[in-house]
Each structure stands twice: as structure tokens, then as C-alpha cells.
Amino acid sequence: MESISKNIKLEGDRTIWGVVFFLGLFSILIVYSAAGISEIFKHVIRLSIGIGCMYLVHQLKFKYFSRLGVLGFWMSIILLICALLFGPSINAANRWLDIAGHSFQPSDIAKLSIILFVARQLSKQRDFLNEFKGVIWYVLAPIILICFLILPADFSTAVLVFANGLMLMFIAKVNLKYIFGILGIALFGGLMLYATAKYVPIMNEIMPRSTTWVSRIDGFFSPSENHNLDEGYQSNQGKIAIHKGGLFGVGPGKSVQRHFVYASSSDFIFAIMVEEYGLIIGAFLPILLYMILFFRAVRITNKSESQFGGLIASGLAFSLVFQAMINMAVAVGIMPVTGQTLPLISMGGTSILFSCITIGIILSVSRDSTDRNYETA
């Protein structure tokens, strides 16, 4: 045992390791309360596997993620197409693939791979990014392709991927006129998609999930018309849980609303955290931990001598923290229901695994922040 412990070295940013420890502890406590003893053992095993993968990934030199990003990008395209064509339809969405008895969402692979791929493009194609057509061809086209394949089954994840891409462009100092131009076109396209889904009946046959998008958006802006919808019910129960929690919470394991919230251990786990532990521990502390993760990643970016390393550190951290903020915003009722999990806290095998791999890559950059020769990978 002593020889094993000597060989296990936690390298990279120690503060991020601490953040992972506290978020993991939160996760075990809340999943136990929300899902019960029957699920906690599975969750601990998944969390342990995820942290094990994080350790292995952080031991790799980050330069290898340049080519792995290319491989992951093309693999994501194939898997997303397979999910759309052959995946089981659950709630009118073909998000999952079953391989050897294990289910996973290809969009989780795509979210990670596209950041690595775009970071590689932004680093290697600098000479072509001074013109708008260069940005379109080398950066925006891959992002749009992935978003297009995710969109029919998962609107919110497609939006998240697009936002991550824009943030990477901003970090890489792409001309702001290009970024705002792309954002404006995307917002117009989103409004047109909403209008088409709402007023053109054939859209429901092409994209059955579009009915859910419209109902969630309409229900958010017109709550009085949403009380019979499942999304409105879930949102209301989440807000009730937060209200009951107050500043100090009702106590660990004493949540009442977990019996009424459908996704109490995943999408609405933040509401159960606040109900049991209160705003101070259940809300402010996790937010603080996510903010520490993000600002440590920014610090890693500033120290890194590799543009690729800096881009993946900030881009991946932004992806995790932005997803966490979306989950919390849904729970408190300031965003429509999205189905995004709370990274490292929500129950779910693929979500935990890819969140841990993401942090492992950030730790890898922090471990080798002076390595500039990623192109040799």
C-alpha cells in the first residue's frame, strides 16, 4: 500500500484538486438524500471511476490533446449521426447510444472534443483568422456542424456548444466584429427556429422535440399558462424547495421536495441542496467553488506559454462553469428548463466521467504550462 501511495502523485494545480474533492463530497451527500441508499453505491463507483480517469488524463502531456481533439471531433460526428438514426427515442429525443449494455450520450463526447478541436484550429490557423471567411471555414463551420447534429435531440446542449465556441474565439482575440456578427446571426436564426417550430406544423414531424422547446419557452414567459405542463410543475417544485431551505436549510436528509421533483438527483439537484443545506452552504459555497475553478483556469491560461494550452484550460473551465450556472438558473426560475446537469454533483455516469476528464485536461495544462511544442504530438 505504501509503494502505491508513493507512486500516486497529484500534480498540477492543487487548488483545483481541492475543488474537485469538495464538489465530490457535496455530490455524495446530496445524491444520498435525493436518490437513497439504492443509488448511492452506483454513484460512488461512477465518481471513483471518473476521478481515476481524471488522474490518468492529468498525467498526459497536454500536447497530445491536439490530435485527440481531431479524432474526437470526427468520432463525435459519426456517433451523433448514429444516435439520430439508430438511438432509442426517449421523450421524442434520440440522445443515447447503447454499446455492450452501457448507455451514453454522444453529445458529451462532442462537447469536449469540439473545444479541443477549435482550440487547435485557433492556434494553428492564426494567419487565416484575420479575415471573416477564415473564421467561418476553420472555426465556425466545425461548431455549426456539431450543433446541427445535436440540435434535433438536445437544443440546450447545442446552445451550450455554440456559446463555448464563441468564448474560445473571444479568448483567442478573434476580431470582435466577427464575433458579434456571428452572435447576431445566431440570435436571428434562433428566433426563426422558434417561430417555425411554433407556427409551422410540419416542423413537429421533422423535429418532434421542437414541441418541447416551444412549451418550455412559452411556459417560462407565461407562467400562468404553464401550470399543467410537466416543466412548469418541476420548476415550481424546485422553487418551493429553495424557499423552504432559507439561509440554513432543513437539515441533511430531511428534504421533502425530493419526493415531488422528478429529476431531484440530476437536473434539479441544486434545489435539493439549497433545501437541505440552505443558501449559505447549499448555494453560495458551490458557486464559490465553481468560481475558484474558473479563475484558477484563467490563471493557468495566463501562465501557459502555449496558446493551445491556454485556450483549452479556459475553454474547458468556461464550459463546466457555464453549464453549472445554467443548471442553477433553471432551479431558481430565471431560465427555462434545459435538462443540463450540475457538473461533478448531479448523478449520471457519462456526465461525471466527461466532467472529470475535462478537469483532468485542465490539470494537465497546469502541470506542463511551459510546454510550447504541442505541434509535435
pLDDT digits (tens, 9 = 90+) for 107-130: 999 999 999 999 999 998 877 888
7 band by pLDDT with thresholds 50, 70 and 90: low
The closest of 355, 339, 328, 322 to 272, measured between CA atoms, is 328
- Whole-angstrom CA distances from 67 to 50, 58, 120, 121, 374 are 22, 16, 8, 11, 9
pLDDT-derived band at 207, boundaries 50, 70, 90: confident
The DSSP 8-state label assigned to residue 90 in this structure reads B
Q: Which residue has the higher pLDDT, 123 or 100?
A: 123
- Hunting for cell 510546454 — which residue is that? 371
- Residue 374: pLDDT band (50, 70, 90) is very low
Residue 225 predicted with pLDDT over 70: no
pLDDT at 64: 93
Spatial CB neighbours of 106, under 8 Å, sequence gap ≥ 6: 76, 79, 80, 82, 83, 95, 97
Which pLDDT score is estimated for 38?
77
Q: What is the pLDDT of residue 371?
A: 53
C-alpha cell at 225: 399558462
DSSP codes joined into one string, 160-204: HHHHHHHHHHHHTT--HHHHHHHHHHHHHHHHHHHHHHHH-THHH
Residue 270 reports pLDDT greater than 80: yes
Question: In the structure grid, which three cell numbers stand for residue 60, read together?
Answer: 498526459
Q: What is the pTM of this model?
A: 0.91
By three-state DSSP, how is residue 101 classified? coil
Residue 375 scores a pLDDT above 70: no
Closest to 106 (Cα-Cα) out of 85, 82, 86: 82
Q: Which residues contact 33 (CB under 8 A, 6 or more apart)?
A: 252, 253, 255, 258, 272, 276
Whether the per-residue pLDDT at 238 is higher than 90: the answer is no
Closest CA to 336 of 241, 217, 237: 217
The pLDDT, as a whole number, for residue 220 is 77
pLDDT at 243 over 80: yes
Question: What is the predicted pLDDT for the residue at 227?
Answer: 44
